[in-house]
Structures are given as C-alpha cells and as structure tokens.
Amino acid sequence: MPTRRTVPQVLDRDFLEIRARMLDLAAALDRIDRASLPSHQTPDQRLAQIRSGLEALLVPESDRAETIQRLFSLEYDPHWSKRFELPVQSGR
C-alpha cells in the first residue's frame, strides 16, 4: 500500500501542522531553558534524550520515527531468560 502522493501534495496537507508542531517543540525547549536547575544536581538524562532526538531528526533517513522510538526505549537484554531462570531461548 505505497504512498500515492507527491511531496507537494504531502506538504499541501501537512505543512501547517508540521509548522505548528515545530513551534510547540521550540516553545517547550525555551520553557526548559527558562526553568532553573537545582544546584548540585546531576544533569537530567531526559535532556540528553531530547538532544539526541533532535539530532536524529536531521539525519536524512526514512526511519526517523523508529530511531526516535528507540532513543526513548530501555535496552533489550538478550540474556533476560537466564537472569529470570526461565526455559526460554532469548537473544535470537
């Protein structure tokens, strides 16, 4: 079921929504910048996730959504079944 649309057709429909979502994102980043960081606190790991996500958006590949999903995911442990002592072949 491949897409039937051209780039201009996608932009005709989605451009304003993309613009609005970019503004939302920009405003959220400004909001974080305006907020204070408690002293003696280690950097919040979530900020690094957001920064990595923004960098991933600039990579011209067709699976950016999958990349963003993985950035916000815990890693899979291929030895999980041994850790749980369950009769499952993991890490295929």
Partner 1 sequence: MRYIDPHIHMVSRTTDDYKRMALAGCAMVSEPAFWAGFDRSGPEGFRDYFRQLTEYESRRAALYGIRHHCWLCINAKEAENVELSRQVIAMIPEFLDRASVLGIGEIGLNKNTRNESTIFLEHLDLAARTGELVLVHTPHLADKYAGTRMILDMVASDRRIDPARVCIDHVEEHTIRAALDAGHWVGMTLYPTTKCTPVRAADMIEKYGTERIMVNSAGDWGHSDPLAVPELIFELKSRGHGEAEIRRVVYENPIHFFSGCPRFVPPVMS
Site for partner 1 in 11-70 (CB under 8 A): 13, 63, 65-66, 68-70
Closest separation in Å from C-beta 66 to partner 1: 4
Site size for partner 1, by CB under 8 A? 29
Closest CB to partner 1 among 5 and 19? 5
Q: Is 89 one of the binding residues for partner 1 (CB under 8 A)?
A: yes
The residue whose two tokens read 């990595």 is 52
Is residue 67 within 8 Å of 59, Cβ to Cβ?
yes
Q: How far apart are CA 46 and CA 14, in angstroms?
A: 29
Burial 24-44 (b: 16+ CB within 10 A, else e): eeeeeeeeeeeeeeeeeeeee
Please give the residue ranges that form the binding site for partner 1 (CB under 8 A): 1-5, 13, 63, 65-66, 68-70, 72-77, 80-81, 84-92
